[in-house]
Amino acid sequence: MDLGLTDRVYVLTGASRGPGFAAARCLVDDGARVVLSARHDDAVAAAVRELGGPERAVGLTADLADPETPERLVAGAREHFGRLDGALVSVGGPPPGSAAFVDDEGWRRSFETIFLGTVRVVRTVAGVLAGGQGGAIGLVLSTSARSPVSGLGISNGLRPGLVGMAKDVADEYGPRNVRVVGLLPGRIGTDRSEALFAAADDPDRARAEATAGIPLRRIGEPAEFGRVAAFVLSPAAGYLTGITIPVDGGALRSL
């Protein structure tokens, strides 16, 4: 199936590795061009090289906590590729820990990046797309948006709010052909997942228990998430908006 991605341009945050990079890889492989961002120069440069260099990918070192980041991403897409067709907003997971014990500063730091940083990108990109031919915005969230994950209190608190925000923006901009879709990755084989397993008292047992709770009985591959994200952002998914899609091997038990 032709996804219609050839020469379309997307900005992706938090995309030097993990789900964000997997999505960038799939987009580029299907003919799209990407502007990716992350917080570290070397990681951004390495990701751009792996994606094929400036004909297919350019990178910006940026932090979602910086209010200027969304405009820089939009400007980068227009300057290097002459257009913008959408965005994938991904941000690293917050520190683990129970919400009962996270102090105000911990909440504030995570809110600035994970919540407000995401809202800024969505607001900025949606406004740009609405002034043109439309496009799509994907949010990389977490299954914690539907069902709390033990030990991830900040994520359990912030992710559901982002789902509500995405639905609201989808309603507002749908008449101008701007789609907004949330993606809920479950256990995907990323550095973040490995770090959470390693932090457990018994990492092997933690991994075995997590796998046992997934109907497919395995941890997902980053590319499996990337292909879903690329489809959602593509014209082939033109009638999808205002929804959240789990990419979790069936682990979520809600209907």
Strand, helix or coil at 95?
coil
Please tell me the predicted confidence (pLDDT) of residue 107.
95
Query: 64 pLDDT exceeds 90?
Result: yes
The percentage of residues in the chain with a pLDDT greater than 70, rounded to a whole number, is 100
**How far apart (Å, rounded) are the C-alpha atoms in residues 254 and 96?**
23
DSSP 109-126: HHIIIIIIIHHHHHHHHH
User: What is the mean predicted confidence (pLDDT) over 191-212?
Assistant: 83
Amino acid sitting at position 84: L
Query: 195 pLDDT exceeds 90?
Result: no
Let me know if residue 97 belongs to a domain. Answer: yes
Let me know if residue 248 belongs to a domain. Answer: no
Strand, helix or coil at 47?
helix
User: What is the mean predicted confidence (pLDDT) over 106-131?
Assistant: 96
Please tell me the predicted confidence (pLDDT) of residue 148.
92
Let me know if residue 250 belongs to a domain. Answer: no
**pTM (whole model) above 0.85:** yes
Let me know if residue 254 belongs to a domain. Answer: no
Strand, helix or coil at 89?
strand
Write out the residue range of the structural domain in which residue 121 sits. 9-240
Q: How many domains does the chain have?
A: 1
169-185 burial, b for 16+ CB within 10 Å, e for fewer? Answer: bbeebeeeebbbbbbbb
CATH number of the domain enclosing 98: 3.40.50.720
**How far apart (Å, rounded) are the C-alpha atoms in residues 36 and 60?**
6
Let me know if residue 145 belongs to a domain. Answer: yes
Mean pLDDT, the chain, whole residue set: 95
Let me know if residue 210 belongs to a domain. Answer: yes
Strand, helix or coil at 147?
coil
Write the CB contacts of 200 (distance below 8 Å, at least 6 apart in sequence): 206
Please tell me the predicted confidence (pLDDT) of residue 255.
82
Helices and strands (H and E) in the chain: how many = 9, 7
User: What is the mean predicted confidence (pLDDT) over 212-230?
Assistant: 96
The percentage of residues in the chain with a pLDDT greater than 90, rounded to a whole number, is 86
Let me know if residue 100 belongs to a domain. Answer: yes
Structure confidence by residue, pLDDT tens digits, 232-248 = 999 999 999 999 999 99
Let me know if residue 168 belongs to a domain. Answer: yes
